Amino acid sequence: MNQRKITRRGLVQGSLMAAAAGGTATFFGPWQHNRVWAQGAKKPIKLGLTCDASGQYGNSGQDDALGIRLAVDEFNAKGGVLGRKIEWITADTETNPATGTRVAERFISQEQCGFLIGAVHSGVANAITQVASKYGTIYLNTNSSAPSEAGENCSRVKFVWDGNGTNFSKAAVQNAVEKIGKKWLLLTNDYVWGHTTSAATKAQVEKAGGQIIDNLLVPQNTRDFASYLLKVQQAKPDVVATAVGGDDIKALRQQVSDLKLEDKAAWINNQQDWPDVWGAPQTLFGVFGTTWYHKLPLPGVAEFVKRWQAAYPKSPIPVPGNVSYNGYMATRELLRAIERAGSTNNIAVIKQLEGHKMPAAERMQHFDAYIDPVTHQVQQTIYLARRNAKPSDNTDLFEIMSWTKPELALDDAAPGKCKLKAYDEVPSFEL
Amino acid sequence: MLNLLPHLVNGITLGLLFGLIALGFMLILGLMEQINLAHGSLFALGAYFAYAIATPWLPLPPDLVQAWAAVPLVWRFAAALLIAPVLVAPFGLVLERMMRRTYGRDPLYGLLLTFGAAMVLEELIRQVWGTRDYLLPVPREMSGGFIMLDLIWSTYRFWAAALAVLAMAGVWIIVECTRFGAMVKAGAHDSEIVQALGIDLARLRVWVFVLGTMLAAIAGVILAPLWGIRPHMGVDAVVPAFVIIVLGGVGSFWGAVTAGLLVGMVVGLSGAYASEWSLMSMYLLLILVVTFRARGLFGKKSVLEA
């Protein structure tokens, strides 16, 4: 039909050319490890937003960015920080660690960003951390919640703002083993967050006298869960504990709901991010963890929601959820820390963040929170929720069942695993 | 064996769904020798149009929309299944028109064009429907579960598998039992002779492309209730479609069907017994087959061979 056929050699050549082009695209250097920044009293402070816009956590990444931008806008409206305007740039990290590395390199070495903010996928967060550590750039991991992020993968320059798998497991497991049953089956997303979260759940279950009867690993981007659901039925567990996120949990929820399997075993979803719920609330089931909800009956919550809605009247999700909230809180606290430090010197800002206490009223949570100086994780109120049977409006999807104090949900193992570099080993700079 | 049987049954249904996804891709690659990387985006468009028709989410006067919403869901779903592919067809027409300049040139031009088209279509979806997820409602008669082998099974999954069989039968009849099919196959075999016989090859290509586009859309409609609707759902379709076509042998109808079933079985069984390998298993199967038979299971003379 065509004069020219597709040849295997042609395809291979094309693939190699594409790979070569992709390979060179990763090379931005040479860059200098010890940066020299142009000094200027009113030079804007530039933030690099490392947010996914595509891939498994594309929706969550964009929701994260909205919270971050709101905090920036609020500071700029007050005149910025230290009299300097705050600017930001963003790029799609694609829910892909390699892309995260590339974007972080570019933001620091080419765009001269002094701070990096944003993550949902723990693999991406860890990749960005490696780059940030090399340059001494402060990195706020806003939403990735693998216990390893504040454990073996912690860093002096990284601060982790979300509750992690261990925090949520501690809040949920003990009670569930006692009241529901001892036979647990784990569904685990096959990457660092899934593995570390399920490991935390397993430890809590066994500590409470329960037993893990199987752990089914779910590769990322799994859309068809039929074989898993057959296996779950064959195993007949009392509780199914999932550490599955993003588009994968949406597909899983849809298929579980279709079969009405939510009634056959108790389901505990370690953490349920708001963007993963929005759009298919009818498939919400089981008990799940969160760090914030837009209808918490606490001072400041309604005002925050109004400000957020006024800033984003056309947002695909009409109200902020935990992901946007974490992005906002992380950015606000970073900018406050710069103000307290009176400088953008990275070490001075790190010292302002370490151990910083945040009153419950300011955090719009039930209990005071603090940044653990040993692990750099924000220890905060952990909420357990379920689907709201009597919603007050079409956004009122959660019924908050309990709120646990930070010290009761503490990840005890993290301090032993986290080894922070000494300050003098971190490259220091002033923007 | 009793434990294995449900997973074999599941593998067959999954295989039929994979086969359905690959059908349109197979037609365009097999008969036109064009790798259509926009296949996944056309699949997604089918799902979105079906959602617009079934829910209904239509840019029509409110009275008309209300009247349509009052129609039982089973009819709205059937209408979505029939109309959504027709609505997606013009996108295929435009894409084919753009691709004409790549005919007879290095295949990478066609690859790049359809890759770009895929990104444009995905962005178009984001602009029209936003980034949120949607659920295509399924009529009560087709949804829920039923008990077989002491397990709960998805009713819709079996309906979807049955619809996949119907679509495959339709394609087989068109390609093997009609004059149109004979002309298309002859054109693929020797375009010069076919043109010398007075057959308008350009028009044939248009029809093949439109048919492939509509099949992608049909697959999107059928899979939407199972896998959900989101802007980037096309990626979930185009990758397995490509694997299945290469595995089955480019241009072979039965190759695509067999490869779809094989991939379904391998993914289904590995999902049950070695779940961490469930997605990887299809690629391992591809490597295994291509290592020993480069043209795929049923490929005669592959366009991928020199």
CA distance B174 to chain A (A): 19
Residues of chain A under the 70 pLDDT cut: 1-41
DSSP-derived secondary structure for A2-27:
-SS---HHHHHHHHHHHHHHHHHHT-
Cβ contact, residue pair B135, A278, below 8 Å = no
A-interface mutation test, from B150, B278, B300, most A Cβ less than 10 A away: B278
**pLDDT value for B299:** 81
Nearest Cα to Cα of residue B221 among B94, B57, B60, B88: B88
Out of A4, A219, A226, name the one closest to residue B105 (CB).
A4
- Looking at A281-341, list the stretches that DSSP marks H as alpha helix, in order from N- to C-terminal side: 301-311, 322-341
Residue-wise pLDDT for A163-185, tens only, equals 999 999 999 998 899 989 999 99
Cβ contact, residue pair A6, B304, below 8 Å = yes
Phi, psi of B87 (to 5 degrees): -70, -30
Task: Return d(Cα A166, Cα A410) in angstroms, integer.
Answer: 8
**pLDDT value for A350:** 98
Task: Return d(Cα A240, Cα A230) in angstroms, integer.
Answer: 13
Provide the percentage of residues in chain B whose pLDDT is more than 90. Answer: 60
For β-strands A239-243 and A183-189, DSSP reports them as: parallel
CB B173 within 8 A of CB B224: no
Task: Return d(Cα A250, Cα A279) in angstroms, integer.
Answer: 9
Tokens of B2: 């009793």
Tokens of A388: 């709201």
Cβ contact, residue pair B104, A2, below 8 Å = yes
Reported as a pLDDT band with limits 50, 70 and 90, residue B130 is confident
From chain A, pick out residues whose CB is under 8 angstroms from the CB of B138: 258
Say whether the peptide bond before residue A44 is cis (omega within 30 degrees of 0): no
Cβ contact, residue pair A227, B10, below 8 Å = yes
Task: Return d(Cα B244, Cα B247) in angstroms, integer.
Answer: 5
Task: Return d(Cα A65, Cα B239) in angstroms, integer.
Answer: 30
Residue-wise pLDDT for A35-67, tens only, equals 445 554 578 999 999 999 888 888 899 999 999
Task: Return d(Cα B252, Cα B185) in angstroms, integer.
Answer: 11
Residue-wise pLDDT for B265-302, tens only, equals 999 999 889 988 988 999 999 999 999 998 899 887 54
**pLDDT value for A148:** 94
| A139: helix, strand or coil | strand
| A210: helix, strand or coil | coil
Tokens of A275: 């963007």
| B139-159 per-residue burial string, b: 16 or more CB within 10 A, e: under 16 | beebbebeeeeebbbbbbbbb
Q: Which domains does chain A carry?
A: 166-290 (3.40.50.2300)
| B103-117 per-residue burial string, b: 16 or more CB within 10 A, e: under 16 | beeebbebbebbbeb
Task: Return d(Cα A269, Cα A126) in angstroms, integer.
Answer: 23
Cβ contact, residue pair B152, A8, below 8 Å = no
Residue-wise pLDDT for B174-227, tens only, equals 988 999 989 888 887 787 888 888 888 888 889 999 999 999 999 999 999 998
Out of B107, B153, B279, name the one closest to residue A6 (CB).
B107
Nearest Cα to Cα of residue B222 among B160, B135, B279: B160
Secondary structure letter of residue A421 according to DSSP: P
Out of A8, A226, A264, name the one closest to residue B304 (CB).
A8
ipTM: 0.81
CB B241 within 8 A of CB B54: no
Which residues 102-141 of chain A have a CB within 8 Å of chain B?
A: none
CA distance A342 to chain B (A): 40
Tokens of B227: 């896998």
CA distance B105 to chain A (A): 6
Please identify which residue in the block is written with the tokens 């829920």. Answer: B144
Question: What integer best gives the mean pLDDT of chain A?
Answer: 89
**pLDDT value for A12:** 44
B103 touches chain A (CB under 8 A): yes
- The residue of chain A nearest to residue B266, with distances taken between CA atoms, is A227
Burial of A262 (0-12, 13-18, 19+ CB in 10 A): middle
Cβ contact, residue pair A228, B6, below 8 Å = no
Task: Return d(Cα B165, Cα B20) in angstroms, integer.
Answer: 8
Across B157-179, average pLDDT: 94
Please identify which residue in the block is written with the tokens 């199914």. Answer: A240
Out of A4, A11, A278, name the one closest to residue B304 (CB).
A11
Tokens of B23: 């059908």
The residue count for chain B: 306
B239 touches chain A (CB under 8 A): no
- The residue of chain B nearest to residue A224, with distances taken between CA atoms, is B227
Across B142-166, average pLDDT: 92
From chain B, pick out residues whose CB is under 8 angstroms from the CB of A14: 107-108, 111
Cα end-to-end span (Å), chain A: 62
Out of A10, A218, A316, name the one closest to residue B106 (CB).
A10
Cβ contact, residue pair A280, B268, below 8 Å = no
**pLDDT value for B302:** 47
